[in-house]
Structure 1
Amino acid sequence: MRDSDSTRVLAPPRSFREQFRAIHKIRVGRMSNLWLYVRYQLLSKLLVSIVVFPAYNWALRKLIGATGRSTINSSDVMGFLWSIQGAVAVLLSAAFVLLVMCLDIAAFVQLELRRLQGEPLPTARRMLLDALRLYPRFLHPGSLVLLAYVVILIPLVGFGPEPSVLEWLKIPNFVMDVIIHNPAYLTAYVVAIALLGVLSFFLLATFPAMLVHGHSPWGAMRESLRYMRRYWLINLVWLVIYLVTVLLIVGVTLAVLGGISLWGIPLVAESLLTIRFTTLLAALIAAGAVGLILLFLTPSMLRELTRVYAVLHDDSPVRPEPCISTASTEDRQARPRLFAAVVVAVAGSVIAAGIGAWNFDDLFRSEAKIEVVAHRGGGDLDAENTVKGLEAAAAIGAQWSEIDVQRTADGAYVINHDSTFARVAGESRAAEDMTLAEIKSLQVENGFAPSSPSRPVATLEDMLTAAKGKIRLFVELKGATADRRMVDDVAALIRQHSMEKEAAIISLDQGLIEYAEQKNPDLLTGFLYFFAVGDTENLPADYLMMEEQVATETELLRLNDAGKKTVVWTVNTEASIAKYTVSSVGGIITDHPQQVIQALTERSLRSDLELIVEQVLNFG
């Protein structure tokens, strides 16, 4: 094919070998691209963090405030979305995500297309302006499908071009825990992810197709499907090569710096201060290197996808000779600049390591007390939501136990999490459909250790009696009977047992917690949520109890400064336990209280290297 000025372009290769050679031929330009990426990412992230996101956040808060709320959260998000302000907020959020897509995805595709046509690299400022000029093209009805691809599909399957501002999007851990422990759910999940993964792969060329051929977002997705059906093999091979290369770079970087930390530092460091300094320096450089790789993961993936698409597609102008010549020259010019940037970054790390080593104990050896909350009675210590589990949690030193209360048909209160007793006791009826006497005949199986003895279903009175003076209780109002009557009845039972300071009423329903605060201001309350936007410090509860994805270190520090008590749920994995036992959270809800207590005990005994790795790399 020839373009308008009859310049010869690369003919689309036909065989797999020809395709591979044609793509490999134009591999130059990585160094100059990297130098431009550094400058562009700094400029675009500054724009988003200083201008775009604050403006979006301000507008969103105004919309939330116009409905009489200070936040929207998992309790009342649907009520907000059905309002006029909610509809405007949805449109505003879509416009925000589309703008970020222009800055974080379309910009890099457009850059590679120009490079493939032999044009010189633009400045970071010009690249940013060009990306902003693309924005109107995304204001199209077809962008709804594109948004679903970027916001839902890519986070679900775990690969594809994803804007950095959306990296937090994923299935919550508490949902994954339910899926993993239910064979039917797990099978369906694996099949769904496999099918969605294939779909995501076939949509990888969406952005190149949109910008190369001027398709609408929906048309570009259809073009990507057609293109990938024809060239799936070379794209798959190239994607595997790319992913293996990234993993090797990360692995080698961490291995080298880990080796320096474990064996090199003791050889050259003599005093505690120098050991801390060199360990911190190695950790900071490792965190910076890995962070840089992750920051450039989407741009580099888009580079490869765009190049493969442009080389293989029948209607994409590619000028190999001008591209190679220009890119080679720019690579030579970029090397000393990159070297200078590395020197500056290392110098900054040296200064930061020096400050950190001098103030090491204040920064890394915090004495903040984190309380352990056994989930559903005693977690994995015994059958869930039973007196034996509660007693086991108290015996190992857990400060709290979280239990779930439901009302029976005759007005009593029993402890059970699910809508029925099917999972724990083989009874398909719900608590509200059974009398207390009928429920008393049930036996709760130990899901963590099936061979262990079953236990009777406990009443709320049983749990309060067993807990008094030994362990405090988070009493969650659960099921269809969670209403104001339940709030009043549970509050009365807490008072009857004189446990006003030993028990807290908690719920996922913000309205119930507001009612509990109004009727019983002297009792402790806790609000559970897995999503919140706005002034979360104004939520009406003594304890703010967040799902893991919400409980970022920044959010925890902000809420602590506002005087709120913070709790994170449900912390079950080794990685999560390691993360939150060195965090600023006030309490950890877990199915594995013994492991969390052990981790907290070992926290004071951890070496400097362990503390640095956990805090710098986990929260860096």
Structure 2
Amino acid sequence: MGLKDDMGTIWVLFRKHWKQFLAIHLAASLLVFAVLGPLLSLVVGWAVLASGDAALTDQDILFYFLSPRGFLLLLFAAALAITVAVFESAANLVAGYRARQSESVGLWRLGRFMLMRLQDLFQLSLRMLLKLVLLTAPFMAVAGFIFFRYLTEFDINYYLQERPPEFWTAGALIVVILLLMAVLLFRMLSGWVLALPLLLLGQGKPGEVLGLSQQLVAGHRRQLMLLLAVWVLVFAGLSALVSAVLDLGAWAAMAMAGSSLERLAWFMGGVVAVWSLLNFFVSLLAGVTLMLGILLLYERLAQDLPAQASRQLALLDAQHDWQVPGRWVLLGLVTLIVVAAFVFLQQFKQLKPEQVPEVMAHRGASWDAPENTLAAIRTAIEQGADWVEIDVQETAEGNVVVMHDRDLMKVAGSPLTAFDAPLVELQAVDIGSWKDPKFSAERVPLFADVLALAKDRIKVNIELKYYGRETRLEERVAALVEQAGMEDQVVIMSLSLPGVRKMQQLRPSWPTGLLASVSLGDLTRLEVDFFAVNARFANRRFVTLAQERERSVLTWTVNDFALMSAMISKGVDGIITDRPGLAKEVIRQHKTLDPYERFLVQLASKFGSRFNIEQ
């Protein structure tokens, strides 16, 4: 049989048994949502709690999972995640096998069969994971060596911004290493495509099926590659089509609704319901057809193996298929439209225009002036920012300077570091001309000078920077703030949770916050006053939960109109931006939006700023 015949067979099987596959999809989704998903969350949460904290952020995640205990917990959690991910695919494979025999399988008996094989699936997932780790570890080690050999002499931000020759050399070498790794990974993963049918349909054991699958696939990779390529192209096209439906439907809904918010809610509810239904169907079709394609390949390549079906397949006999009447599908669609419209209306009612976030100038108004300079802070004051966010480091002489990177390479091309260079040498370097020659007089400012400029004019968000050689940074920062009489005009934050906790011990009444880009666990349970999180991860649920627990939420770095509007709609307490003037203007405009326009902002927030709300 050729590819065309296989595609025809797959389509006939899907069309004939689509109700059964739909039932499997719904039941598996419910099981993952109600049981397997929470179990995975519990394992991840337990792994995080084993670290001694309710949550881990950024580099702490890496350091913990590189420890022996953390690595073992990571393997266990990752294997469980793979098991959860393939559970529905495995069920579709078994149902497809029965369909090929012109027999249906009862949903309950299929579920019982799958749960009985759950341990085998987990063991298979764990073995796959270990083999992947063994394959990738040498390549990652070589890539890491190249990185440390070429890209650690200066601060990483210098390499990312200036891209000197060593950046391109290291980048090219790392790309070659990763491409080679990707080729071997793809070869290994593609060789495992028959592992599931060998495990579930035959009597293969988790320790045997990976090797046996590679033996069967060897010599037939071209056939496999063609099957996978066609599958990817078809469903990439369908996904793009579904995305276009949302775009066109949204604009049509806005055009038909006119100025009526209620009509807009109902029309958008219908559009989102249809879009969700199409996404659901494409997801169902993609998952089922891939498994059916693998099943046909298994039947063809494993036909010379001894015919020994799994004894547990007998559990699938003597059970009626679950029928899904068409009227229930129609009722489900109508219900989905009504619920979607209701949700849109409720979210509109929950919008609170009186909640206005404060604007924090990121390293000063660094869009218009060189970062962390007195000029940037003066510009932030002129643009009406509520706060200025600055970075502070400790020098070997015991001074505290305002400086982000560990050296001056990015802003001045100078290798001087805060801890190694005398203050007089640091302040001899021009750190403004890279932005504009008119800033040539700008120098690395003392923290005390920034406080003097900001006092009673703008509040200061102080980020403590740690590069491994600090001795009394927290004490010195606290003393300088008190000398300036600005205890009620500052907050302290850092990427380092130990640093935040040390400041809490020194000054328990001062507001302190944790800076985070990624996290594991329940971040909102950490004992801090606020979180400064990457705007990409500031979803409404996190913002609401944090505020319910009396933690404020700041988001960074928010520099465009649409994202600022989205953050306002999500109810964040502060926006950290390089463009405080623009942020103030966006907030002013947001206050004047009528309900219709504010509803569109909410939609933009939900759908990734698809709609040009700036208009």
**1:593-604 superposed matches below 5 A:** 593-604=580-591
Question: Match of 1:566?
Answer: 553
Q: Distance in 2 between matches of 1:32 and 1:462?
A: 76
Equivalence for 1:163: none
Q: CA deviation at 1:494?
A: 0.8
SS of equivalent residue, structure 2 residue 570: coil
State the secondary structure of the residue aligned to 2:487: coil
How far does residue 570 in structure 1 lie from its aligned partner after superposition? 2.8
Aligned partner of residue 599 in structure 1, secondary structure: helix
| Greater shift in the superposed pair: 189-198 or 420-429 | 189-198
Corresponding position: 1:551 with 2:556: no
- The answer to whether the 8 A contact 2:24-2:92 is kept is no
Whole-angstrom CA distance in 2 between matches of 1:343 and 1:429: 66
Matched AA of 1:340:
L
Residues in 2 aligned to 1:305 and 1:191: alpha-carbon distance in whole angstroms: 31
Cα contact 1:530–1:547 (8 A) shared by 2: yes
Residue of 327, 332, 338 corresponding to 2:329: 338
User: Who is 1:8 aligned against?
Assistant: none
Aligned position for 1:265: 257
2-structure distance, mates of 1:177, 1:610: 39
The CA deviation string for residues 289-313 of structure 1, in whole angstroms up to 9 with x for no partner, is: 3344445555433333334444456
Aligned residue in 1 for 2:140? none
Q: Structure 1 pair 596/136, CA: closer, same or farther in 2 (3 Å)?
A: same
Question: What is aligned with 2:116?
Answer: 133
Tell me the alpha carbon deviations over residues 267-293 of structure 1, each in whole angstroms, 9 at most, x when there is no partner.
xxxxx7xx2222112222333333444
Query: Is this contact kept in 1: 2:372–2:403, CA < 8 A?
Result: yes
1:44 to 13, 24, 28: 28
Distance change in 2, residues 1:49/1:246 (3 Å): closer
SS, match of residue 301 in structure 2: coil
Quote how far apart the aligned CAs of 1:435 are: 0.6
Q: 1:241 aligns to what?
A: 234
Superposition deviation, residue 466 in structure 1: 1.9
- Looking at structure 2, the residues matched to 75 and 590 of structure 1 have their Cα atoms a distance apart, in angstroms, of 23
- Name the counterpart of 1:100: 84
Residue in structure 2 matching 1:143, options 101, 117, 126: 126
1:527/1:390 Cα in 2 relative to 1: closer, same or farther (>3 Å)? same
Please tell me whether residue 539 in structure 1 is matched to residue 523 in structure 2. no
2:56 to 72, 78, 82: 72
What are the within-5 Å matches in structure 2 for residues 585-596 of structure 1? 585-596=572-583
Q: Match for residue 493 of structure 1?
A: 480
Give the superposition deviation at 1:78.
Answer: 5.7
Tell me the distance in 2 between the aligned counterparts of 1:469 and 1:505.
Answer: 18
Amino acid at match of 1:250: S
Offset at residue 500 of structure 1 (A): 1.0
Tell me, what secondary structure is at the counterpart of 1:397? coil
CA change 1:351–1:428 in 2 (3 A) is closer
Q: 1:67/1:352 Cα in 2 relative to 1: closer, same or farther (>3 Å)?
A: closer
What corresponds to 1:90 in structure 2?
74
Q: How do residues 214-293 of structure 1 correspond to structure 2 at under 5 angstroms?
A: 214=199, 216-217=209-210, 220=213, 227-255=220-248, 257-266=249-258, 275-293=260-278
CA positional deviation for 1:36: 5.0
For normalisation by structure 2, the TM-score amounts to: 0.77
User: For residues 481 and 56 of structure 1, do their structure 2 counterparts lie closer, same or farther at Cα, with a shift above 3 Å needed?
Assistant: closer
Map residues 3-82 of structure 1 onto 2, 5 A cutoff.
12-13=1-2, 19-28=3-12, 30=14, 35-36=19-20, 39-58=23-42, 61=45, 68-74=52-58, 76-77=60-61, 80-81=64-65
- Quote the Cα distance in structure 1 between the aligned partners of 2:437 and 2:524: 45
Consecutive unaligned residues of structure 1, counting only runs of 5 or more, are 1-11, 14-18, 154-175, 267-271, 318-329
What CA distance in whole angstroms lies between the structure 2 residues aligned with 1:388 and 1:306? 62
Query: Which is further off, 604-613 or 365-374?
Result: 604-613
Corresponding residue for residue 313 of structure 2: none
Question: Quick check: 2:561–2:586 contact (8 Å CA) kept in 1?
Answer: no
Q: What is the alpha-carbon distance in structure 1 between the residues aligned to residue 399 and residue 379 of structure 2?
A: 25
| Cα deviation digits, residues 494-540 of structure 1 (max 9, x gap) | 11111112222211111111111111123222211234444533423
Shift of residue 491 of structure 1? 0.6
Per-residue deviation, residues 307-349 of structure 1 (Å, max 9, x unmatched): 44444564267xxxxxxxxxxxx99976544223212322334
- CA 1:177/1:573 → structure 2, altered by over 3 Å: closer, same or farther? farther
Out of 568, 572, 580, the residue aligned to residue 567 of structure 2 is 580
Secondary structure, aligned partner of 1:414: strand
CA drift at 1:251: 1.0
- Confirm or deny: 8 A CA contact 1:500 1:522 kept in the other structure: no
Aligned counterparts, 1:189-200, within 5 A: none
Are residues 230 and 32 of structure 1, via their aligned partners in 2, closer, same or farther at CA, if it must alter by over 3 Å?
A: closer
TM-score by length of 1: 0.77
Residue 543 and residue 252 in structure 1: after superposition, are their counterparts in 2 closer, same or farther (change >3 A)? closer
Matching residue within 519, 523, 526 for 2:510: 523
Pair 1:134–1:577, CA change in 2 (3 A):
farther
The match for 1:156 is none
**Counterpart among 270, 286, 293 of residue 301 in structure 1:** 286
In structure 1, what residue type is equivalent to 2:301? D
Look up the SS of the partner of 2:461 in the other structure: strand
Q: How far apart, in 1, do the equivalents of 2:87 and 2:367 lie?
A: 47
The CA deviation at 1:194 is 6.8
- Mapped partners of 2:596, 2:16: distance in 1: 36
Residue identity in the other structure for 2:528: A
Residues 30 and 603 of structure 1: is their aligned pair in 2 closer, same or farther, counting only changes over 3 Å?
farther
Structure 1 residues 481, 287: closer, same or farther in 2, change over 3 A? Answer: same
Residue 406 of structure 1: SS of its match in structure 2?
strand
Q: Which amino acid aligns with 2:83?
A: L
What is residue 162 of structure 1 aligned with on the other side?
A: none
How far off is 1:469 after superposition? 1.9
Q: Which amino acid aligns with 2:119?
A: P
Counterpart of 1:604, as a letter, is K
Deviation track 1:208-234 (CA, whole Å, cap 9, x = no partner) reads: 422233364576578778654454345
Q: Which amino acid aligns with 2:331?
A: A
How far is 1:483 from its partner? 4.0
Paired with 1:331 and 1:179, the residues of 2 have a C-alpha distance of 60
Q: How many residues align structurally?
A: 556
**1:415 corresponds to 2:415:** no
Question: Is 1:315 equivalent to 2:301 in the alignment?
Answer: yes
Matched, 1:512 2:499: yes
Query: Deviation at 1:441?
Result: 1.0
Q: Which amino acid aligns with 1:315?
A: L
